[in-house]
Structures are given as C-alpha cells and as structure tokens.
C-alpha cells in the first residue's frame, strides 16, 4: 500500500516534458511508415520535421530527408533523445547516404508576424521544396503542410519514423550550430548551452538585459521583460534608414 502511494506521488511530480521524454523512449523508430508508402507506389518518401518551436530566440529550422531504401542508417531516433556527439555523427551519415536532404529556416521577425505554428509549417514546406530529387510522398511530424504532395501527419513521428527522425537530427544539428554562432554575438544570454529555450539562466538574462533583436518579441517571457537595449540601438537606426531609402526609391 505504502509503495503504491509513493509511486503515485512520484508520478504526480513528473513534469509534462519529463513524461513526454519517458514516452518517447518507449517508442520504436522504424521504416514501417516508409514501407507502407513504398508499397502504395511512392518512390521518394521524405520525412519532414522542425526544431526550435518552443525557443524564445532565433529562427525555427526544418529539414526534409529522403532515405535510401538500400542503405540503413542505424541509430536513428528523435533528436531530443540523442547526445550532441551522437547527433553530429548521425547527421554526417544522413547527409552522406540519403537520396536527398534539405534545410530551411524562418527567422524570429517572421515568427512574430505569422505566429510560430504557421512559421513552422512554412519552414517545413520550404525544406520540402528545396529537395533534389523532389519527393513524391511526405511523412510529417504531427501536422500537415501546405503542399499538394500526398502526406501523412504522424504524432510523435520523430520517434516512430526513421525518415522523420533523420529530418529531426539534421534540423537540430543545424539550429544548434546557429545558436553557437549567436552565442558569440550575445554572450550574456548563454545561448550555446540552452539554445534559446526558457531555462532559468535565459530567463534571468532577459530580466537583467532585456531581449535582443533576435528574440521572438511575441513570446510572453520576451515581451514581459522590455529592458531598453542601448547596445542594439544601431540596428534599429539601420532599419529606419533602410525603410526611408525604400520610401524614396518608391
């Protein structure tokens, strides 16, 4: 009795993100969705996924990957479940052996204009459009995109479909690379460590320094900390000069 009560209390303490990770670890990443599409007549099946949807900083990045049925990339799974070194190694193998792959991004300003949901779909669509060869069937993580190609939206697709997992890995590796570059520009925010997500360190930096021009101004933790940013004033001045020049040219 006491044991069951203890287990119940532990379950209640488990956060939503921790519970999701526990679920994802139990799922098996296979080619069953790809095989179903191949058996239906598709030849170039692309997995599509995005990363950075919940970040407060920078772009959302999407990737599309067409795996080669004749070559198995072992170890594919949801990028969130992989150590950085493992993701990097898998990304290299994916780029080397995939029949096609492409990456696209939508920046923070566009995210603020159209919201993160539509920005994620736009990034995924752009990644699909950049594929060469072009895909003839899509497997998309958890949503449908604006595309005439046949597609399947798969809940937890990055943990179930090898192609979507491959796309998740490429997108994650690329976005992490971007965050390391931005960390050198804005070192006070610790972007290299948390990749722009709502960690205590990031939120503390926002409270102290306010948001940078690369933060998503429509996200609550960002607009709730409107500390003046004199250090970035030159960027606003440049933008005003560009707009004035465009008005004169028009």
Spatial separation of the C-alpha atoms in residues 120 and 59, rounded to whole Å: 9
Mean pLDDT, each 10-residue run in order, the chain (250 residues) = 54 64 78 97 98 98 97 93 96 98 98 97 98 98 95 95 97 98 97 97 94 95 78 51 54
pLDDT given for residue 22 in this prediction: 73
pLDDT given for residue 238 in this prediction: 53
pLDDT given for residue 69 in this prediction: 96
pLDDT given for residue 66 in this prediction: 98
Please name the fold of domain 20-181: Nucleotidyltransferase; domain 5 (3.30.420)
pLDDT given for residue 226 in this prediction: 78
pLDDT given for residue 4 in this prediction: 55
Whether this prediction's pTM lies above 0.75 is answered by yes
Q: Where are the domains of the chain?
A: 20-181, 186-249
pLDDT given for residue 243 in this prediction: 52
């Amino acid at each position: 009795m006491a044991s069951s009560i203890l287990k119940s209390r532990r379950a209640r303490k488990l956060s939503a993100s921790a519970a999701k990770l526990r679920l994802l670890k139990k799922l098996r990443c296979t080619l069953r969705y790809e095989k179903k599409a191949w058996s239906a007549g598709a030849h170039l099946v692309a997995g599509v996924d995005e990363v950075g949807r919940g970040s407060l900083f920078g772009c959302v990045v999407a990737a599309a990957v067409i795996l080669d049925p004749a070559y198995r990339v072992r170890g594919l799974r949801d990028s969130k479940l992989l150590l950085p070194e493992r993701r990097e190694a898998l990304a290299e193998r994916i780029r080397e052996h995939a029949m096609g792959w492409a990456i696209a991004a939508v920046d923070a300003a566009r995210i603020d204009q159209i919201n993160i949901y539509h920005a994620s779909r736009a990034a995924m669509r752009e990644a699909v459009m950049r594929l060469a060869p072009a895909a003839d069937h899509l497997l998309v993580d958890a949503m449908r995109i604006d595309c005439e190609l046949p597609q399947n939206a798969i809940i937890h697709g990055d943990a179930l479909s090898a192609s979507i997992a491959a796309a998740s890995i490429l997108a994650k590796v690329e976005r992490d690379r971007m965050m390391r570059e931005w960390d050198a520009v804005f070192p006070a925010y610790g972007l290299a460590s948390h990749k722009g997500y709502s960690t205590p360190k990031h939120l503390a930096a926002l409270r102290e320094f306010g948001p940078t021009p690369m933060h998503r101004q429509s996200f609550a933790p960002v607009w709730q900390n409107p500390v003046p940013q004199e250090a970035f004033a030159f960027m606003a001045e440049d933008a005003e000069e560009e707009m004035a020049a465009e008005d004169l040219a028009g």
